[in-house]
């Protein structure tokens, strides 16, 4: 998908460059060669061809900016996905090397779990730091 957006971005930039070069300048540049001219119309905006050229240039400039933003956001999403994959792989490596945080007897169970398995839940009086554990030690 990002390849399509990148190719579209290049095509829009070429069209935009061509349209900008078509505009008449002080010496009528490339636009004089194609008959655009530099005459002024009744509203002071130049000829009808020049005004249409302005409209097409603005249209392709907006299209260029929107497509550039789309490409940027796609790249940002890929960066976030890469970071998430790195963190997930780090956690998987930690667990594979013997680390982990599940089925530990010294950690109190989450009180918000629906139905904990009695075989994996530590007894309240064996969890260090709880009042029940302090009473059994004394």
Mean pLDDT of the region 107-132: 59
Residue 46 CB neighbours (<10 A): 19
Return the higher-pLDDT residue of 71 and 118.
Answer: 71
Return the higher-pLDDT residue of 136 and 51.
Answer: 51
Of the chain, the percentage scoring pLDDT greater than 70 comes to 56
Give CA–CA dist 9/71, Å, rounded: 9
Give CA–CA dist 132/125, Å, rounded: 5
- Confidence tier at 36 by pLDDT (50, 70, 90): low
**Predicted TM-score of the model (pTM):** 0.51
Any residues with CB less than 8 A from the CB of 47 and at least 6 apart, and which? 36, 37, 39, 40, 41
- Confidence tier at 11 by pLDDT (50, 70, 90): very high
User: How does pLDDT run across 37-94, given as a tens digit for each residue?
Assistant: 555 544 445 678 888 888 999 999 999 999 999 989 999 999 999 999 999 999 888 8
């Amino acid at each position: 998908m990002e390849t399509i957006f990148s190719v579209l971005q290049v095509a829009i930039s070429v069209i935009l460059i061509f349209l900008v070069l078509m505009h008449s300048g002080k010496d009528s540049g490339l636009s004089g060669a194609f008959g655009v001219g530099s005459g002024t119309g009744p509203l002071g905006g130049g000829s009808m061809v020049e005004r249409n050229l302005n409209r097409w240039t603005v249209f392709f400039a907006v299209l260029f900016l929107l497509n550039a933003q789309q490409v940027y956001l796609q790249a940002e999403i890929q960066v976030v996905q890469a970071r998430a994959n790195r963190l997930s792989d780090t956690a998987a490596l930690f667990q594979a090397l013997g680390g982990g945080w599940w089925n530990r007897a010294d950690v109190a169970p989450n009180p918000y779990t629906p139905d904990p398995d009695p075989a994996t839940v530590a007894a309240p009086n064996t969890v260090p730091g709880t009042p029940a554990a302090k009473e059994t030690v004394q």
